[in-house]
Structure 1
Amino acid sequence: MSERPVLQPTAEHPITVTPTGRHVTVSVDGTVVAETDRAVTLQEASYPAVQYIPLADVQPAALVRSETTSYCPYKGEASYYHAAGVQDAVWAYEQPYPAVAEIAGTVAFYPDKAQITLS
């Protein structure tokens, strides 16, 4: 088995994690599954910004761990969850690489599977 690459953010591929500074509400199929004032925004290169929600601010009954995993050389191994019955709607980097340590203990929702509202 080969080792997975670990990459650091660079000027060509920047990654920032900053406090969102707004109230974030996440709904799945019309059901509110998360609300927080403690979200952080991860901006990676030219990809759309992603809201990472503290797991403590997500309704525990809404999430069911999936068997799906993925790997990002900048962030680490991702685990997935089904949310309110929607398959693999949520991901988390439970042990993120040091460059994005601020996302530990948080989850993110796919915007095509959940409604993410900032107010």
Structure 2
Amino acid sequence: MSGKPIKIPGPDHPISVERNPARVVVKLGGKVIADTHDALTLREASYPPVQYIPRKDVDMSLLSRTDHSTHCPYKGDVSYYSIVPGGERSKNAIWTYDTPNPAVSGIRDHMAFYPDRVDSIEELQAPEAGQF
């Protein structure tokens, strides 16, 4: 036991994780950092929704893991990555839960991006049947 508090999501602090049917693309400096059809949308209390992108769909060659870490009592220990081509702006731009708490275990092996440390996080809807 690490001694760090663990809280369970509930009515006072709801958390949901759902598959996002849209394609999610993250860009910085004209480069695609992540591109996936398998994002998860995490909604937590009154915070804005966050897109969690599978690591397999992130260009890890552009990232550098940092020593920075934090703890969320609802989700677990947080590790961070910087996007190297983004310089100082993109320091600790990405966070991930290597071993998330059981209530949010679906975000394991996924990464989330701070919107102000990248150029864009786009959700591209698939065209409806019959549209081009």
TM-score (norm 1): 0.95
Aligned pairs for 1:1-119 (under 5 A) are 3-83=3-83, 84-85=85-86, 86-114=90-118, 115-119=120-124
Residue identity matched to 1:117: E
Supply the RMSD in Å over aligned alpha carbons: 1.1
Q: Whose strand fraction is larger, Structure 1's or Structure 2's?
A: 1
Q: Which residue of 1 aligns with 2:129?
A: none
**How many pairs does the alignment contain?**
118
**Which of the pair has more CA radius of gyration?**
2
Gaps of 5+ in 1: none
Gaps of 5+ in 2: 125-132
Q: Which moved more, 1:80-89 or 1:105-114?
A: 80-89
TM-score (norm 2): 0.86
Residue 62 of structure 1, CA deviation? 1.2
Residue identity matched to 1:64: S
User: Structure 1 residue runs of 4+, over 6 Å off?
Assistant: none
Q: Which residue of 1 aligns with 2:130?
A: none
